[in-house]
Structure 1
Amino acid sequence: MDKKRTAHLISHTHWDREWYLPYEKHHVRLVALVDALLDKLDQSEAFRSFYLDGQTIILEDYLQVRPENRERLEKHIRDGRILIGPWYILQDAFLTSGEANVRNMQIGHRDAKAYGEPAKIGYFPDTFGLVGQTPQLMKQSGIDNVFFGRGVKPTGFNNTVSDGGYESSFSELLWEGPDGSKVLGILFANWYSNGNEVPVDEAEAKLYWERKLADAEKYASTNELLFMNGCDHQPVQLDLPEALETAARLYPDTEFVHSSLPQYLQSLKGAMDRELSTVKGELRSQRTDGWGTLVNTASARVYLKQMNQEGQALLEKVAEPLASFAHLLGKDYPHHLFTYAWKTLMQNHPHDSICGCSVDEVHREMVTRFAKSRHVAEAIIDDSKMAVAEAVETTGFAAYGEDPLPLIAMNTTGWTRSGVIAVEIDAARLYLRDGHGLEETARRMRAVDLSGRVLVDDRGREVACTVEDLGLLFGYDLPDDRFRQPYMCRKVRITFRAEAVPALGLRAYAWVRRAQRHEAAQAKAKSLLTGHRVMENEALRIEIAEDGSFSLNDKLSGRVYRDLGIYENTGDIGNEYMYRQPEGEKPLTTQGIAAQIRVLEDKPYRAALEIVHAWEIPASANELLDQEQRELVYYPERKAQRAKRLVPLEIRTVLSLEAGSKGVRIETKLNNQAKDHRLRMLFPTDLSAAKHRADSMFEIAERDNEPAPEWENPSNTQHQQAFVELGDGEAGLVVANLGLNEYEVLRDGRNTIAVTLLRAVGELGDWGLFPTPEAQCLGEHTFHLELIPYGGGEQGAFAAYAEAYQFQVPWTAAQTGIHAGSIAPLAAPLRWESAELAFSSLKINEETGDMMLRWFNMSRRGSELTFSPEIPVKQLYKTTILEEAHFPLTGNPAGGLSLPVGPCEIVTIGVRG
């Protein structure tokens, strides 16, 4: 006799904070939903539990309007009837950084513990694919499971399920990350609404359960069947207990339980009696026809992705390290401000938000949130960098006589860094409190003599620089102990190349008066322009053709990459979710179109050439697209073409090469006046390789150039974070970006890397017609990339990756005075070494005050981390991403340690001072 089956009904709602309605309209509905839920839980013991979508922000959103209900909410959470956490928000996986995901888990756990305990459920109901390191991140968070809806099985239009091509035999599977971590995966094979709106009426219930039980059994590996009673913004089904009583009468061979996800998991694990399939690595729906992967959300509203990259980099790569350094000097670490800034930023990280696939009102509010979070980060950076700068020993510059002006270049990346930076400093300043009057104050500042000055480094060596007089400017101080202090100043901008600033360290410079300038040293500095439209340093040679494309000669490896930087433009009759090129359309390109080329900069430290394309492209799609959108024609079946009318598209490209640099930087500016199109930049590699690599969350993901046999979509665009790279085992090319998250390796015989700069569409897509005119992205845009060729095989690739990671992080600089200090003019408090590891994070733990550092192994082989703190240390220990438990590391803390690191391992080290 077969074992009796159990139907686990999980009451929940999937709560997109904003999507096809603006945030506040969803917010009003959320308040009504939680009101009804609390009333039901108060009144009925039979309504056992409710899963609050895995995100604690729902509690904040509700209590913002209903603070009087906090005690009722807390009681039901403590009693285990409302399950919360583990996340702060349900974030997109591919468009948010690894550290943003760690902060999401940390803040979600902390906020949940204020009410009770977080549910240890790895909940990803509607995430648009999942990154390969998810199992390791779950295991380090004390979670041994993942519930997910996308990435393994075919999911089509309106989330309909299709058969065939499964990577798993059942809806239950083992998911293994690149480091070997394994979790139990639960696929919502019939979606996370497969138990929605259960009928109470017997006749309706009979039809309902006949279909639902059969659908669940089709995929389940046991008799423990999962039914999710809820969907997007679904109100609570208050009569579920009565509906389950009806079901129990109709099906006496089935136990119907108003269950919870932890209860279901326990039952499932107890019932496992067969081997499950193991799925490895990323879950990106590659074994599908390619039309429903939602991958092109990576290029919808690119301006949002650019703002996100900037916001994440400022918080995790600049503000947190600088505040940690300031903390070592005795300054309080602003945990409260970081929490606020991270929360504000993460409110833009749910998939319908950061993916750019909502109505226009949603994304307007996101722009404001990005600015708010950035402003807090900038305030922390300003305070922290001044605390650090004021502790640097600068008395050595006093030898240069009258009014030396020291400045400190700070490197908050994990690698020794050289590069061109621009610093604005006050050559002189007069406070209005000094009583000279406005006219006299202005006169004195205009009269300041800027001549006879040079820039020197910490050893007194003269540094080539450019000084731009910014003239008379107004400014003000905001002291901690008195009213604001306005002043007039004479400001200059100094641009120079900072050399070998240590990882997580600093180097002092000063703009000083020097009667005898080292003219010979100045004469030795050669121009990087070596010919007509040619730039060259020790490592690279760039030559620009008449059509604006260019060749890149990697002198170290001997490889030459040709026809780089061609722009490609196609129509796009898809939507915010998916790109669709008009049938039979031939792409437009700038190849063969003459460009205007001129020298923009010729300095010893940097050369730049400007390329201007005066181009024309179709103004929009033709009128058929509007008709097809209104008739809800599925985008792969649309027949619209591009309009005949053309509009100008002037593209201004600046290629810049720095002395000593291993990469060439690209800045593209344009004013988009066209609709329904996509613009990409093409980088042919001409390298023989079947696979390529892309930066993902704590992983260099390896992907096939050719899609799976099931793939029908002509486009095979994919996600990246910091870069994409293609190599042949000996040499390769890294294409780094700032906030350009979509690329494609073209099947054109040249293994061309195509990076999407802009995608302009006019509708949201999905389940109805939601016009989004602002997704056409009309107006001014600026894009940034860096090309980094390499030789030397895998080790050369790792060095190029490090360069790409540094490209993400802005330099920090601060003006200071002449003073004694506890920090040497060339210093770093922490030193580490490993060719294979990438540095990720430096921050202070809120509970212990310990310093937390994180790396991840870029290699799929074991490596070693050598860590040598230059500060007093009592203990070094290894911990997890939650920073809770710690495992002491043996050895002499003051002398450092060598720590083995597993393949693709994410390693966090605690430093107790």
Structure 2
Amino acid sequence: MKKTRKAHIISHTHWDREWYLPYEKHHVRLVQLIDALLDKLDGDSEFRSFYLDGQTIILEDYLQVRPENQERLQRHITDGRLLIGPWYILQDAFLTSGEANVRNMQIGHQDAKRYGEVAKIGYFPDTFGLVGQTPQLMQQSGITNVFFGRGVKPTGFNNTVSDDGYESSFSELIWEGPDGSKVLGILFANWYSNGNEVPVEEAEARAFWDRKLADAEKYASTSELLFMNGCDHQPVQLDLPEAIETARKLYPDTEFIHSNFPDYLQAVEQALDNDSLSTVKGELRSQRTDGWGTLVNTASARVYLKQMNQEGQALLEKVAEPLASFAHVLGKEYPHHLFTYAWKTLMQNHPHDSICGCSVDEVHREMVTRFDKSRHVAESIIDDSKQAIASAVDTSVFASFGEDALPLVAMNTTGWKRTGTISVELDAARLYLREGFTLEETARRMKEVDLSGRVLMDDQGNVVDVTVEDLGLLFGYDLPDDQFRQPYMCRRVKLTFLAEDVPALGLRAYAWVRRSEAAASSAVAADSSSGAAASSVGSSLLHGERILENEWLQIEIADDGSFSLTDKVTGRVYRDLGVYEDTGDIGNEYMYKQPEGEVALTTKGLPACISVLEDTSYRASIEITHDWEIPVSADARLDEEQRALVYYPERKAQRSRETVSMKLRTVVSLERGGKGVHNETTIDNKAKDHRVRALFPTDLSASVHHADSMFEIPVRDNEPAPEWVNPSNTQHQQAFVDVSDNAGGAGLTVANLGLNEYEVLRDGRNTIAITLLRSVGELGDWGLFPTPEAQCLGEHTVQMKLIPHSGDGMITGAYAEAYQFQIPWTVCQTGVHNGVIAPTYAPFQWENTELAFSSLKMNEATGDLLLRWYNMSGKHTELTLISNIPSQYFYKTTILEEPQEPIAGNAAGGLSLLVQPSEIVTIGLRR
């Protein structure tokens, strides 16, 4: 009989490293699974292949326990029976940075290549939605396909799927990114377990295949049907060859094969009629669904994890890598091995069940340790690199201020020129214990160090306003490369000042010096001889106790702690900013659910205590405190509904009538040249089952808004699709969200540090609501898994920055300011010495308001420097780059950083390159 269809059965397991069990309990089961798989591959040639879930960390995890089986793994990978890569881990898309995703692809390829061929499969089986730049990232990785389970089709409780709201005509589709890159999309329309546990017995097999074949044909555009034989932590189906043989007997019109992804793709591509396929563009966020199964509120589950991740990513990609690259140019070894270790440790927190905060408590405790471990490595690289750089800076300009001049170097590792307030601790004097003085004498000498009569100077000889805090006597130690540790006592001070116009990826030198005759003639000086904090004299940014004002902005605090913000450039006034909202949450770690009929509580009209916290010429801050009575938790019905596994949208629980005090402390700060308002909030959370948000009404006329995502700033509708019924329309962000009225010439950008959830409210004011804290008590999904630590009791501090502008956040620089907000300053004390670097210096120069700088790093294989930007705009733009680093030539490459031919017509000292709309562009510099 002629075969009319082909059933491709692909063996796999979807391996969440940690989720409803802690990592090591999953780890034990993984070892058992791979042991059984290797035995099967060794003994049965009919069991043709197995896909290791697209992530090479499975090999690491297995070999950590079973190193003696490396040769067996190697043999089956070489023979093409075990398919590995392309990723290191299966990451969440919206909560991990663009560079983290690039490192994930790079390290996955590097590890896979050690064994053999990399599976060029764009694998996203259970990713909670996909970012719009995924097609471009795949194309730049040599991958022309994406397999995915979420984003265009409703997925509900326990991963059940529905036919409503399907955005594609078939399970095969064309997915197009904002730059025009296209890939073949394969939707797991019946989930990635639609071929799981195939029966061997004929009666069961007939019932199974009658249903499964019909389900697949309902969506497939060809007769090549895909069946995924496996699921979450699914053991290998060892009798699959026998089950396939049964199916062949029962269905002579169907060709059943034990297939793999490359063979299936080849068959589908040959059979496809591309003209019949739907083209889906941009982000895949399940917006054409009822809104209850998007899992979007994982963006606010355990916010502390998101904050630690933001810090860890920023330190590695935006500080440690560029500093290590610059230090390498100066002769220091680039620590590739440490970066790989730090990135791997960080990325072990990036799988969706991990970074999304939707696992049991034990999982997230271990994540905190991993975040710390990765950060400690990054900080060590930063310390070594900044010392090497500072030692190469020519600080001899400060030699005229005496032998005890104390130079320091401020380093700006962002992609834009930067001005901002920084703090640095300096050792005014040290006395090493090796000098032989008693501890009492050492302490006495350090206490007697004279700190008076000093000023801060920049490299141009200008006195800089500074606040000096005497930190007193402190113990410290050096760890020399060629000696035993060297302990000392020192007299330490903390300097806080405004660093101005530090160049992009560059530095500027300052020094805290004795007041010379030149400095003494200045009207501005600082004196900290009393040991207390002292501020230099200058114009204040405060007007009374409620108004902050500089050249660009005015902020006025109201009695309830909210504030108005006047953009003095446009004249636009934003009112009622900084009101806090509290609602109940009877959902779970995945999704927020407000109790039916509940009216949100807010601090609008709630009297606040307001006082001046800081008043210097370069920065002023006002402290606002609230003692707010809120319900202590949900009522008893929530526990009953959780135990009965009531689907969260159908729950009827309410909030308790018992209340508890939640203390909020807000610090609103404005810098002298600042174009944004810094907002820091500390929440002392004593309540359960609730959500806290900060509200920022824009009162702007706009039907869409912008939000920062991976290598793009997508435009999103304020109103959800007609299919959306969830009252909440919260969404993902990374660095910022922006509402703009281009016609009206005004916009408001709200930047954040690790606050990944926002909502533009449909309240008639286009209010930007930022989730600061969400407290829930269960994991959710397919059973009852209590998570008391997800209630996030205790103190939490969050940071935001409000940046008004004239209607285009990209052209006005508001987005650049928001990106800079993500990245800490680096400051290093050094000595007075000659050096090869000028006291104000940058290794590269470029200017382009449409390009966002993303990374500077070194390629391990070639030793080349790699710089990456992405085009924030939807139009062509030009990158003009000048290098102050001696080089042979530049070349354009992909995110995999493979060397290419030199860019034609460009000199070694610079280049000019046309950048396509929304393009991610990587430039290699061959030295």
TM-score (norm 2): 0.98
Q: Letter of the aligned partner of 1:681 in structure 2?
A: A
SS in 2 for 1:9: strand
State the alpha-carbon separation in 1 of the partners of residues 545 and 398 from structure 2: 42
Q: CA deviation at 1:793?
A: 3.4
The residue aligned with 2:780 is 765
State the alpha-carbon separation in 2 of the partners of residues 809 and 2 from structure 1: 63
Does 1:258 find its partner at 2:261? no
State the alpha-carbon separation in 2 of the partners of residues 375 and 66 from structure 1: 29
State the alpha-carbon separation in 2 of the partners of residues 121 and 556 from structure 1: 50
Does 1:861 find its partner at 2:890? no
State the alpha-carbon separation in 2 of the partners of residues 399 and 519 from structure 1: 17
Task: Determine which of 661, 669, 678 is the counterpart of 2:691.
Answer: 678
* Aligned counterparts, 1:211-226, within 5 A: 211-226=211-226
Q: CA deviation at 1:524?
A: 7.7
State the alpha-carbon separation in 1 of the partners of residues 524 and 797 from structure 2: 37
Which is further off, 325-334 or 527-536? 527-536
* Aligned counterparts, 1:775-814, within 5 A: 775-791=790-806, 793=808, 795-797=810-812, 799-814=813-828
* Aligned counterparts, 1:661-672, within 5 A: 661-672=674-685
Which is further off, 696-705 or 155-164? 155-164
Kept in 2, the 8 Å contact 1:879–1:887? The answer is no
Kept in 2, the 8 Å contact 1:402–1:513? The answer is no
The residue aligned with 1:9 is 9
Q: Letter of the aligned partner of 1:650 in structure 2?
A: K
RMSD between aligned alpha carbons?
Answer: 1.0
> In structure 2, do the counterparts of structure 1 residues 885 and 819 end up closer, same or farther at CA, with 3 Å as the change threshold?
closer
- Runs (5+) with no aligned partner, structure 1: none
Q: Letter of the aligned partner of 1:627 in structure 2?
A: E
The residue aligned with 1:319 is 320
Q: CA deviation at 1:890?
A: 1.9
CA offsets 1:682-701 (integer angstroms, 9 cap, x no match): 00000000000000000001
The residue aligned with 1:756 is 771
SS in 2 for 1:266: helix
Q: CA deviation at 1:887?
A: 4.0
State the alpha-carbon separation in 2 of the partners of residues 560 and 865 from structure 1: 36
Q: Letter of the aligned partner of 1:520 in structure 2?
A: A
* Aligned counterparts, 1:726-741, within 5 A: 726-729=739-742, 730-741=745-756
The residue aligned with 2:530 is none
Does 1:909 find its partner at 2:923? yes
State the alpha-carbon separation in 1 of the partners of residues 203 and 3 from structure 2: 26
Does 1:128 find its partner at 2:135? no
Does 1:705 find its partner at 2:706? no
> In structure 2, do the counterparts of structure 1 residues 630 and 795 end up closer, same or farther at CA, with 3 Å as the change threshold?
closer
Q: Letter of the aligned partner of 1:68 in structure 2?
A: E
The residue aligned with 1:742 is 757
CA offsets 1:152-180 (integer angstroms, 9 cap, x no match): 01111111111122110000000000000
Q: Letter of the aligned partner of 1:737 in structure 2?
A: N
Kept in 1, the 8 Å contact 2:112–2:118? The answer is yes
Q: CA deviation at 1:896?
A: 1.3
The residue aligned with 1:563 is 576
Which is further off, 139-148 or 784-793? 784-793
> In structure 2, do the counterparts of structure 1 residues 685 and 792 end up closer, same or farther at CA, with 3 Å as the change threshold?
closer
Task: Determine which of 613, 620, 627 is the counterpart of 2:633.
Answer: 620
Does 1:881 find its partner at 2:895? yes
SS in 1 for 2:307: helix
The residue aligned with 1:648 is 661
Q: Letter of the aligned partner of 1:338 in structure 2?
A: F
Does 1:816 find its partner at 2:839? no
Aligned length: 912
The residue aligned with 2:502 is 501
State the alpha-carbon separation in 1 of the partners of residues 280 and 793 from structure 2: 42
Q: CA deviation at 1:794?
A: 5.6
State the alpha-carbon separation in 2 of the partners of residues 826 and 198 from structure 1: 68
TM-score (norm 1): 0.99
State the alpha-carbon separation in 2 of the partners of residues 86 and 269 from structure 1: 20
State the alpha-carbon separation in 1 of the partners of residues 785 and 885 from structure 2: 57
State the alpha-carbon separation in 1 of the partners of residues 419 and 445 from structure 2: 37
Task: Determine which of 719, 733, 738 is the counterpart of 1:720.
Answer: 733
State the alpha-carbon separation in 2 of the partners of residues 901 and 97 from structure 1: 22
SS in 1 for 2:523: helix
Does 1:851 find its partner at 2:851? no
Q: CA deviation at 1:41?
A: 0.2
SS in 1 for 2:846: strand
> In structure 2, do the counterparts of structure 1 residues 716 and 827 end up closer, same or farther at CA, with 3 Å as the change threshold?
same
Q: Letter of the aligned partner of 1:466 in structure 2?
A: T
Q: Letter of the aligned partner of 1:379 in structure 2?
A: S
Does 1:520 find its partner at 2:535? no
State the alpha-carbon separation in 2 of the partners of residues 773 and 795 from structure 1: 42
Q: CA deviation at 1:781?
A: 0.4
Q: CA deviation at 1:897?
A: 1.5
Task: Determine which of 913, 916, 925 is the counterpart of 1:899.
Answer: 913
CA offsets 1:587-624 (integer angstroms, 9 cap, x no match): 00000011000000000010000000111100000000
The residue aligned with 2:156 is 156
State the alpha-carbon separation in 2 of the partners of residues 792 and 211 from structure 1: 55
SS in 1 for 2:627: strand
SS in 2 for 1:14: coil
Give the % identical residues: 77
Q: Letter of the aligned partner of 1:740 in structure 2?
A: L
The residue aligned with 1:871 is 885
Does 1:578 find its partner at 2:600? no
* Aligned counterparts, 1:139-288, within 5 A: 139-273=139-273, 274-288=275-289
Task: Determine which of 819, 834, 846 is the counterpart of 1:832.
Answer: 846
Q: CA deviation at 1:286?
A: 0.3
Q: CA deviation at 1:247?
A: 0.1
State the alpha-carbon separation in 1 of the partners of residues 621 and 545 from structure 2: 13
Q: Letter of the aligned partner of 1:688 in structure 2?
A: S
State the alpha-carbon separation in 2 of the partners of residues 665 and 139 from structure 1: 39
Kept in 2, the 8 Å contact 1:557–1:792? The answer is no
CA offsets 1:33-80 (integer angstroms, 9 cap, x no match): 000000000001000000000000000000000000000000000000
SS in 2 for 1:894: coil
Kept in 2, the 8 Å contact 1:880–1:886? The answer is no
Q: Which runs of 4+ in 1 moved over 4 A?
A: 521-524
Q: Letter of the aligned partner of 2:523 in structure 1?
A: A
Q: CA deviation at 1:275?
A: 2.0
SS in 2 for 1:787: strand
CA offsets 1:243-278 (integer angstroms, 9 cap, x no match): 000000000000000000111000000111352100
Q: Letter of the aligned partner of 2:710 in structure 1?
A: M
State the alpha-carbon separation in 2 of the partners of residues 653 and 143 from structure 1: 47
CA offsets 1:267-325 (integer angstroms, 9 cap, x no match): 00011135210000000000000000000000000000000000000000000000001
State the alpha-carbon separation in 1 of the partners of residues 800 and 172 from structure 2: 41
Does 1:78 find its partner at 2:78? yes
Q: CA deviation at 1:862?
A: 1.1
State the alpha-carbon separation in 2 of the partners of residues 15 and 584 from structure 1: 40
Q: CA deviation at 1:673?
A: 0.5
> In structure 2, do the counterparts of structure 1 residues 553 and 518 end up closer, same or farther at CA, with 3 Å as the change threshold?
farther
State the alpha-carbon separation in 1 of the partners of residues 71 and 163 from structure 2: 47
Kept in 1, the 8 Å contact 2:51–2:83? The answer is yes
Q: CA deviation at 1:515?
A: 4.1
Q: Letter of the aligned partner of 2:66 in structure 1?
A: R
State the alpha-carbon separation in 1 of the partners of residues 336 and 846 from structure 2: 26
State the alpha-carbon separation in 2 of the partners of residues 40 and 180 from structure 1: 44
The residue aligned with 1:600 is 613
Kept in 1, the 8 Å contact 2:126–2:150? The answer is yes
* Aligned counterparts, 1:81-92, within 5 A: 81-92=81-92
The residue aligned with 1:35 is 35
Q: Letter of the aligned partner of 2:746 in structure 1?
A: A
Q: CA deviation at 1:234?
A: 0.1
SS in 1 for 2:209: helix
Q: Letter of the aligned partner of 1:571 in structure 2?
A: G
Q: CA deviation at 1:396?
A: 1.0
Kept in 2, the 8 Å contact 1:86–1:120? The answer is yes
